[in-house]
Amino acid sequence: MINNFNFLQAKNIKHAVDVLAREERVCPVVGGTNVLVNMKRGPLPVDTILDLSGLSALRSITTDDGIISLGAGVNVAELLEWSKANSVAAELFSPMCSEFAGPLIRNLATVGGNICDASPASDLAPPLLALDASVVLASKAREIRKIKLADFFQGVRLTDRLPDELMTHIEFQQPNDERFYYYKLGKRKADAISIVSVAISIKYDKEKVKRARIALGASAPIPFRSKSAEEVLFEKAMDPQIVDSAAAAAVADSNPIDDHRASAEYRRRMIEVLIKRGLTKIADERVNSR
């Protein structure tokens, strides 16, 4: 059952935020892959579809003064190409993008759509959380607003975006000497919804962890960073005991669901396994690279 709505194509960002300010119940769309699935399940509270797919301003990836900015309209296939060509956090982006749904969806689904859909199992969220990214929101009424991605997620499919705001891009500091790990555990090799996904970024200061970011998907009502695990690692050498404690802390921070894809118990075990693996791999690589 698909409901009725108006369809407006935004001419530019100003036009888009005007529409968002003026109209009630507007749904911004670039790819449409979330909206069309959701509409099939029942009428959405939407009167206007605002199509942003023609806005080239939303489709660029730029680096400016050490800040990398991913346009909300960049699709996952484009993000994959970019990560291969630029090797910016490629250990996070390449596997995430190439395991994101399947190639057909990757040609439609976008950065903005995946983030604003705020699925607990969002594939993009953990890598971007591990990069401490910020969502940039434009509106007619207010100044540009930036909010940490970690604060942007408010609940299952719920974000901090106000109805008149447009997510224009997401930005993060260009990584400098960080080490990364990413793993998505799914039920098959392609086109799978994650059971658990893990993204880790570690920055060392000599032998010790200067900064750890441990991000998890499908492990709680929202994708999140495990502050407890990050604290365990802070200013520690990554020996096996610390690794175990960090993994245990991440499990304690998590709150996964029990559903037909996996039990909460299995998800908790896998959070532990994958974080241990990730940290161990990063620690081993550091040893080997010296």
Partner 1 sequence: MSKEPLEFTLNGQKESISILPRTRLIDVLRNELGLTGTKEGCGTGDCGSCTVLLDNQPVNSCMMFGLQARGRHVTSIEGLSQNGELHPIQQAMMDHGGIQCGFCTPGMVLSLKSLLHEKSTPNEDEIREAISSNLCRCTGYKKIIEAALSVAKTSSLSSVTKEDNNIIGSSMVRGDAEEKVTGGSVYAQDVSFPNMIFGVLLRSEHPHAKILSIDTSDAELIPGVKAIVCGREVDMGLYGYELRDHQIFALDKVRYIGEPIAAVAATSLDIAYEASAKIKVTYDPLPAVFDPEDAIKTEAPLVHDDANAYELDWETERSGNLCYKLNLSDGDIEEGFSQADFIVEGSYETPVAHAGAIEPHCSTARVDSTGRATIWTTTQKPFVFRSYLASALKRPLNKFKIVPTHIGGGFGGKLFPSLEPYAVLLAEKARLPVQMVLTREEEMACALLRHPSKVKLKTGVKSDGTLVAQSARMIFNTGAYGFYGPNTAALASLMVTGPYRIPNLDVTGLVVYTNTVPNGSIRAPGAPQLAFAVEAQLEKVARTIGMDSLEFRLKNAWDEGDVTCLGQKLESVSIKECLTKAADAINWNEKREPGVGKGLACLWWVSGQWGTQTLIESNEDGSFRLINGCVDMGTGGLSSSVIQMAADGLEVRPELIQLVRGDTDNLPWDHGHGGSRTVFTIGESAYDAAINLKQQILKEGADFFGLPLDQVYISEERLCVRGDPSQSVSLSKICFDRHKKHGGPMVGVSSSLPQPPPTTKDHPIGGFSAASFCAHAVELSADRDTGEVVVKRYAAAHDVGRAINPAGCEGQIEGGVAMGLGLALMEELVEQKGKIVNPTFADYLLLTAEDMPEIETILVEKPSKEGHFGVKGVGEPPIAPPTGAVANALMSAFDIDVTSLPLSSEEIARLIRERHHDQ
Asked if residue 97 lies in contact with residue 184, where contact means CB atoms within 8 angstroms, the answer is no
CB of 116 to partner 1, least distance (A): 17
Phi and psi (nearest 5°) for 56?
-65, -25
Asked if residue 69 lies in contact with residue 62, where contact means CB atoms within 8 angstroms, the answer is yes
Output the six-digit token pair for 22.
């003026």
CB of 97 to partner 1, least distance (A): 12
Q: Which is nearer to partner 1, 206 or 260 (CB)?
A: 260
Residue 179's H or E segment, with its range, is: strand 179-185
Q: Which is nearer to partner 1, 188 or 206 (CB)?
A: 188
Q: Which is nearer to partner 1, 101 or 133 (CB)?
A: 101
- ∠ CA 192-198-204, nearest 5°, is 150
Q: Note the helical H segments in 26-107.
A: 33-41, 76-86, 90-98, 103-106
Q: Which residues neighbour 22 within 8 Å (Cβ) at sequence distance 6 or greater?
A: none
Residues that bind partner 1 (CB under 8 A): 1-7, 9, 29, 31-33, 36-37, 39-40, 49, 51, 53-54, 77, 98, 101-105, 107-108, 185, 187-193, 195, 259-263, 266, 269-270, 273-274
CA 98 – CA 100 distance, rounded (Å)? 6
Output the six-digit token pair for 180.
């990364």
Cα–Cα nearest to 214, from 278, 283, 287: 278
Q: Which is nearer to partner 1, 31 or 127 (CB)?
A: 31
Q: What is the DSSP letter of 110?
A: B
Q: Which is nearer to partner 1, 2 or 85 (CB)?
A: 2
C-alpha 135, offset from chain centre: 10
CB of 44 to partner 1, least distance (A): 11
CB of 7 to partner 1, least distance (A): 3
CB of 136 to partner 1, least distance (A): 24
Q: Which is nearer to partner 1, 77 or 166 (CB)?
A: 77
Output the six-digit token pair for 152.
């942007």
Q: What is the DSSP letter of 73?
A: T
Q: What is the DSSP letter of 56?
A: G
Cα–Cα nearest to 102, from 32, 195, 188: 188
Q: Which is nearer to partner 1, 14 or 187 (CB)?
A: 187
CB of 192 to partner 1, least distance (A): 7
C-alpha 19, offset from chain centre: 26
CB of 138 to partner 1, least distance (A): 22
CB of 71 to partner 1, least distance (A): 17
Q: Which is nearer to partner 1, 96 or 209 (CB)?
A: 96
* Secondary structure tally for the chain: helices H, strands E: 11, 14
